Amino acid sequence: MAHQLSKLGETERVYKIKAGFQVNWAEATKVAFNLTTPGMVSLLNVSPSTYARLRSGNKQLDAVASERLDRVVGLALLAENVFEDKTAATQWMSTPNAALGGVSPIMHCDTEIGARQVRRILNALEWGGVV
């Protein structure tokens, strides 16, 4: 999924976000990052009952949840580039980080400001700077 999205231009991604990502993309992200269902609903800002309904009908997420998922995907790809290893990137994204107040980078992506903090840390790691 991440690599599919990365091949799209920004305009195409905006159209896909507005149309809504399929809920199975959220499920794939949940599995890839070993998230719980409560963690996923928190990250996407949907209620547990809404998420269950979307999953049972294999429906599309709304634009807000889709944009959050797009944020996670972008940062996961950046982490993969920084660590030069998908497994290491996934582990880093899923592990509580002291620079983020003990929150895992993936869960910090629920806001754009949080995502910028994660991006800043990844850039520092890539260039050997201090976080």
CB 64 within 8 A of CB 111: no
User: Domain locations in the chain?
Assistant: 2-127
> Are the C-beta atoms of residues 108 and 114 closer than 8 Å to each other?
yes
Of 2-6, 75-79, 107-111, 122-126, which range is least confident?
A: 2-6
Q: What is the DSSP letter of 100?
A: G
Report how far residue 18's alpha carbon sits from residue 123's, in angstroms, rounded to the nearest whole number: 29
The pLDDT tens digits of the residues spanning 53-70 come to: 999 998 999 999 999 999
pLDDT at 83 over 90: yes
